[in-house]
């Protein structure tokens, strides 16, 4: 297994603060070599934006959204401007956010042509009595909240439209096979397009209102997988699967094979294990191993607990993520995972 360095650590920007713990990921998948630098630069930019937001008075949820805004606006990543086309040639976006003190959550799925679905998920959490809106209803809500849809071409790279056109011309063969074939080399999908990653953030902010002294936050966003069925929803917006935060357990953001992460309820599983006393890094790795053993699935996960311990592990060839300088040292494990642990300061 190889490890994608998250960034060239800068102690001025990628450091712990007294009141914030933070990890950002840009997807776990078979990232092509020519995109490694762009992924490293993108997750570092998102991390720096989140820290800057916090240092300027932003809340924990503001921090999460600040990082996701950067990732959704960067066509390198499978979210926002880097989204894929479904079988009908449309972009469908999913996102979810959660706060761990009150367990408030907001999510959207199957919304078309909005650059920042995570912002809309936050509006669902803060402006409605609901936790999850989908499709046309979510789009109507987004526009009532002031979010403006973009032309579809603004969210898809022209090269991917070319590959999609070739897929249509070929009669829509199996998407998993076609989009990983030499015919689709211009697509940023790697060998397993159905297991393409997403983007996400976990954060802990010091809080006198939380029993642990910290409030946890998580957010995840995706632009889908190439050629997916219209209406398909993976783990990303599902509370307890691709995103979860509980001050009594852990904040979690997942990336990778959505169907598998859904089936094992990855986020809630990790949080429950941490609540029961399992170290967060061990809980993350065990979940990845269970996904591999039970479903032959691959993924990456970032998480943190209410003591500020950080974990980032993956079973895919690469994962892009950023965190505090001095902490992101890859530790090779026999099971093929890389873990990030908080050091003693």
Q: Is 161 exposed, middle or buried (0-12, 13-18, 19+ CB in 10 A)?
A: middle
3 state DSSP class of 52? helix
Report the alpha-carbon distance of residue 241 to residue 195 in Å, rounded. 15
Residues 257, 194 contacting (CB under 8 angstroms): yes
Q: Is 308 exposed, middle or buried (0-12, 13-18, 19+ CB in 10 A)?
A: middle
Residues 223, 83 contacting (CB under 8 angstroms): yes
Residues 269, 299 contacting (CB under 8 angstroms): no
Catalytic residues: 198
Cβ count within 10 A of residue 275: 16
* Nearest C-alpha neighbor of 278 from the set 307, 240, 245, 242: 307
Those residues with Cβ within 8 angstroms of residue 219's Cβ, 6 or more apart along the chain or in another chain = 64, 65, 67, 68, 95, 96, 97, 98, 118, 121, 200, 201, 243, 253
Those residues with Cβ within 8 angstroms of residue 276's Cβ, 6 or more apart along the chain or in another chain = none
Residues 256, 190 contacting (CB under 8 angstroms): no
Cα angle value 222/266/20 (rounded, 5°) = 70
């Amino acid at each position: 297994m190889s490890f994608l360095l998250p960034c060239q650590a800068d102690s001025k920007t990628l450091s712990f603060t007294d009141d914030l713990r933070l990890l950002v990921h840009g997807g776990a998948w078979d990232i092509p070599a020519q995109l490694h630098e762009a992924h490293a630069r993108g997750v570092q930019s998102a991390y720096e934006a989140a820290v800057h937001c916090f240092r300027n008075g932003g809340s924990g949820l503001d921090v999460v959204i600040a990082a996701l805004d950067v990732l959704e606006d960067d066509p390198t990543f499978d979210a926002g401007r880097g989204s894929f086309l479904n079988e009908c040639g449309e972009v469908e976006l999913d996102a979810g956010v959660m706060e761990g003190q009150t367990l408030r959550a907001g999510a959207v799925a199957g919304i078309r042509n909005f650059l920042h679905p995570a912002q809309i998920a936050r509006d669902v959490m803060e402006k409605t009595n609901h936790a999850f809106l989908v499709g046309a209803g979510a789009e109507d809500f987004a526009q009532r909240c002031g979010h403006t849809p973009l032309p579809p071409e603004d969210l898809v790279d022209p090269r991917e439209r070319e590959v999609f056109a070739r897929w249509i011309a070929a009669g829509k063969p199996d998407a998993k096979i076609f989009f990983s074939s030499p015919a689709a080399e211009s697509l940023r999908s790697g060998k397993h397009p159905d297991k393409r990653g997403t983007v996400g953030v976990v954060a802990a902010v010091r809080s006198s209102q939380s029993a642990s002294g910290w409030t946890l936050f998580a957010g995840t966003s995706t632009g889908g997988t190439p050629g997916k069925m219209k209406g398909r929803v993976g783990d990303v917006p599902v509370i307890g699967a691709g995103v979860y935060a509980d001050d009594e357990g852990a904040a979690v953001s997942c990336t990778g094979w959505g169907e598998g992460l859904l089936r094992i309820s990855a986020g809630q599983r990790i949080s429950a294990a941490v609540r029961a006393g399992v170290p967060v890094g061990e809980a993350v790795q065990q979940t990845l191993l269970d996904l591999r053993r039970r479903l032959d699935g691959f993924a990456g996960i970032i998480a943190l607990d209410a003591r500020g311990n950080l974990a980032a592990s993956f079973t895919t060839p690469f994962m892009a993520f950023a965190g505090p300088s001095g902490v992101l040292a890859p530790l090779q494990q026999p099971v093929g995972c890389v873990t990030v642990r908080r050091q003693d300061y």
